[in-house]
Structure 1
Amino acid sequence: MKKYEAMIIFAPDTEEEKRNSIMERFKGIIEENGSVDSVDEWGSRKLAYEINDYKEGYYIVVNFEAGADSVNELDRIAKITDDVVRHMVVREEE
């Protein structure tokens, strides 16, 4: 397993309860074949450029260890989740 960092930007109008349930789903995907090291909520921040008429987003950074299958599934689910404005998963160097 390799170490990864995922940044997920939610729409600013997403309710906290819904955001937490989506994050629990993401954690569940990771924990099937890996482990979540940390979840860091940055909160609302201004976006560098407007995305889907949003000028702000709610940022969450997740550090985790997982296999490639878990990363692909996380990426797939993030793409089809309406409340996720942008996401990116990068592998950390060792």
Structure 2
Amino acid sequence: MVIIAPEMDERQVPAYLDKYLKVITDAEGTIENVDIWGKRKFAYEIQKKNEGIYAVVNFTATSEATQELDRQLGLADDVIRTKILRAEEAIAMIASEAKRAEAKAARKTAAKA
């Protein structure tokens, strides 16, 4: 996941990301999907900003290519945050979030009864 500064025009985001994702394709990796979520508000201020443009990229690459991508995105001025997860970690994280949401909903229902 990449969070880009909100000042950037959302139509420029795919081309902006392609510049960095070239690291993956140059290392013979593959880009499966680029999903741009658009501008979202943050739960708390990050780098004196209250919102950012979210983009989720699914790719397959070597560890070295992934580290280089993360390094380059970390140096980019328009990138606020990045988070790279392995597929297994992402699936486990989604499952735990779903369980937590179900438990919270069950507690709310029990409290109303």
Q: Which residue is 2:96 aligned to? A: none
The runs of 5 or more residues in structure 1 that have no matched partner are: 1-6
Q: Which has the larger radius of gyration?
A: 2
Q: TM-score normalized by structure 2?
A: 0.71
Are 2:93 and 1:78 aligned?
Answer: no
Deviation per CA, 1:35-75, whole angstroms, max 9, x where unpaired? 00000010000112101111011000000000011101101
Q: Is the 8 A contact 2:10 2:53 kept in 1?
A: no
Alignment of 1:7-46 (within 5 A): 7-16=1-10, 18-32=12-26, 33-46=28-41
Q: Which runs of 4+ in 1 moved over 6 A?
A: none
Count of aligned pairs between the two proteins = 88
Q: TM-score normalized by structure 1?
A: 0.85
Comparing both structures, which one devotes a greater share of its residues to helix? 2
Shift of residue 14 of structure 1? 1.5
Question: What root-mean-square deviation, in Å, do the aligned CA atoms of Structure 1 and Structure 2 show?
Answer: 1.6
- The AA in structure 1 aligned to 2:45 is E
Comparing both structures, which one devotes a greater share of its residues to strand? 1
Q: Is the 8 A contact 2:10 2:38 kept in 1?
A: no
Q: Which residue is 1:62 aligned to? A: 57
Alignment of 1:46-57 (within 5 A): 46-57=41-52
